[in-house]
Structure 1
C-alpha cells in the first residue's frame, strides 16, 4: 500500500458552458505574463522604456508557440503521420506537445523582428527576459501535470506521481519529471538574476547562462522519462540536443566575454537620443537665462553733460560765446 504520492488531476479541462478551460493553456498563458512582467522590470532597470518588452513579446510569443509545436511534431512525427493516426491532431496544441528548443529558436526570430523595428539590440533584450523565460517554463511544466504526460520511470518514492489508465499510458507511480524540471527552472531563474547582479552580464551572456544551466538540468530529467522518443547512439534525441545546445551556450559566454567585455551602456538608443535632446534644450534655456541676467550697456546721457570740445585752440575757445543757462540771459547777450 502506497502511503504517499502526488495525485494527478482527474481531468485537464473544465467546461464553462460551451467554453473549455484547459489547465495546459492556463499554465502557458500565466508563464508568458510572468516572463513579460519580470522582463519589463529588468529592462527598465537597465535604462529601457516601460512597455518595450511587451511590444516585442507580441512578435516573440506567437513565433515561439509555432516553433515549439513544429519541433514537437517534427521530432515525434510518428504520433501524427504514421498509419492509423490522424494528422489533424498535429494542430491540437491544447493537448500538449511544445518543444522548448523550437520555441526558443523561432521565438528568437520573432524577438529579432520586434527589436529591429524598435532599434534595440537583441542580446540586450535577451538578457533582460532570460530569468522570466526560466520562470515561465517552471509554470508551463505544470501543464504536463494536468495532461498526465512526460512523467519518468516507475518509482516508490514518497513524491511519486500517480498516473491513471489512459491512451498510451499505464496506471502506476512514476518519477514526476515535470516537477523536477519545474523546480530546476526556478533555480535557473534565480541563478541568472544573481549572476547578472554579481558580474554585470551583458551582450547576451545572461541569456546564454540561462540556456547552459537549463540544458544541464534537462539532460538528467530527459534521461528519466519513459515516453516514446527517437534515440541516437542509445540516448534520447532531446538529451543530445541539450548537450549540444548547452555546450554552444558555454562557448558563447567565454568568447563574448573576451570580445565584448562588460555590459551595454545604452539598451534603447531612441530613448537615449530623446534624453540628450531634452538635456540640450535645458542647457540652451539656461544659457539664454544667463544672457538675460547680464547687465546691458547704458547709453550715455547727452543732455546732462557737455560734449568735449577737443581740437580747439585757446583763442577759439575764448572767442566762443558761453552757453546761457536761461532764455533771458541769452537775449541780453544778443
Structure 2
C-alpha cells in the first residue's frame, strides 16, 4: 500500500465559455514574465533600464518560442509528418513539445541582433539573463505536471508521481508510454520536480558566484556556467524519463545533446576567461549608452513640446483673427 506520493492534476485546462485556457500555456507565460522581471532587475544594477529589457524580450521571446517548437518538431518528426502524423499539430504548442535548445538558440540570436543594433554589451545581457532562465525553466516544468507528461520510470519512493488515469491530461492515457499497462497504483519518478529543484539551486548558485567573483569572472562567464549546470542536470534527469525518444547507441538523443553542449560550454568558459572583457568595463559602457539614450529622449520630448507650443500659438493667432 502506498502511503505517500505526489498527486497529478486531473485536468490540464479550464473552459470559460468558448475560450479554453491551458495550464501549460499559463506556466509558460508566467515563466516569461518572471524571467523578464529578474533580468530587468539585474540589468538595471549594471547600468541599464527596464524598458531596454522589454525591447529585447519583444524580439527574443517570439523567436525563442518558434525555436523551441522547431527543435521539438525536428527531433520527433513522426508526430507531425508521415502516415500517423498531422502537420497541423505543429501549431498546438499548448499540448506540450518545446525544446529548450531551440529556444536558447533562436532567442539568443534575436537578443544578440537587437543588442548589436543598440550597441548594448551582449555578454552583460547573457550574464543578467542566466539565473532568470533557470527560474523560468523551473516554472515551465509545472506545465509538464499539469499535462501529466515526461515523467520518469516506475518507482517505490515516497515522492513518486501518481498519474490520474481518469483525467483528461496527456499522460493519463500514456502511463508507460510503450503500449503496456502499468499496474494500478504505479508511481513514477517526478522528473518535472527534479528539474525544478535542480534549476532553482542552479539559479541561486549563479547569483552567489556572480556576487563573490564579479572581479574575477569575465562577462559572459555566468551564461556559460548556466549552460553547464543545466546540461549536467538534464543528462541524469533525461536518463530517468520513459517517454518515447529517439536513441543513438542506446542513449537518448537529448542526453547526447546535453553532453555535447556541456563540453562546448566548458570550452567557451575557458575562451571567455582568456579573451573576455571585465564586467565592470562593460557596465560602464552600458551606463554611458543609457545616459545617451536618456538625453536623446529628453531632446526629442523637448522638440515635441516646442512643436506643440508653436501649434498652440498659431491656433491663438487664428482665433484672434
- Taking structure 1 as the reference length, the TM-score comes to 0.79
Query: Could you tell me whether the CA contact under 8 Å between 1:124 and 1:267 is conserved in 2?
Result: yes
Aligned-residue offset at 1:205: 0.9
Alignment of 1:259-298 (within 5 A): 259-260=275-276, 262-267=278-283, 269=285, 271-272=287-288, 275=291
Alignment of 1:169-184 (within 5 A): 169-170=175-176, 172-184=186-198
Structure 2 partner of 1:223: 239
Aligned-residue offset at 1:202: 3.4
More helix by share: 2
Give the Cα separation in 2 of the matches to 1:108 and 1:253: 17
Query: Could you tell me whether the CA contact under 8 Å between 1:48 and 1:268 is conserved in 2?
Result: no
Structure 2 partner of 1:299: none
Q: Secondary structure at the match of 2:282?
A: coil
Does residue 209 (structure 1) correspond to residue 263 (structure 2)? The answer is no
Indicate the larger mover: 241-250 or 49-58.
Answer: 49-58
Tell me: CA distance 1:89–1:278, structure 2 relative to 1, closer, same or farther (3 Å).
Answer: closer
Aligned-residue offset at 1:276: 8.1
C-alpha RMSD of matched pairs (Å): 2.0
Does residue 248 (structure 1) correspond to residue 248 (structure 2)? The answer is no
Aligned-residue offset at 1:19: 1.3
Give the Cα separation in 1 of the matches to 2:209 and 2:152: 31
Unaligned runs of 5+ in 2: 166-171, 177-181, 296-321
Query: Could you tell me whether the CA contact under 8 Å between 1:64 and 1:105 is conserved in 2?
Result: yes
Aligned-residue offset at 1:273: 5.3
Indicate the larger mover: 179-188 or 162-171.
Answer: 162-171
Does residue 61 (structure 1) correspond to residue 75 (structure 2)? The answer is no
How many aligned positions are there?
Answer: 279
What per-residue deviation string (whole Å, max 9, x for no partner) do you get for residues 196-241 of structure 1?
Answer: 1111133211111100001000000000000000111111000011
Query: Could you tell me whether the CA contact under 8 Å between 1:150 and 1:225 is conserved in 2?
Result: yes
Structure 1 partner of 2:89: 89
Query: Could you tell me whether the CA contact under 8 Å between 2:9 and 2:164 is conserved in 1?
Result: no
Over alpha carbons, which structure has the higher Rg? 1
Aligned-residue offset at 1:157: 0.7
Unaligned runs of 5+ in 1: 280-334
Per chain length, whose mean CA-contact separation is higher, i.e. which structure has more relative contact order (CA < 8 Å, sep 6+)? 2
- Taking structure 2 as the reference length, the TM-score comes to 0.82
Give the Cα separation in 2 of the matches to 1:65 and 1:274: 29
Structure 2 partner of 1:132: 132
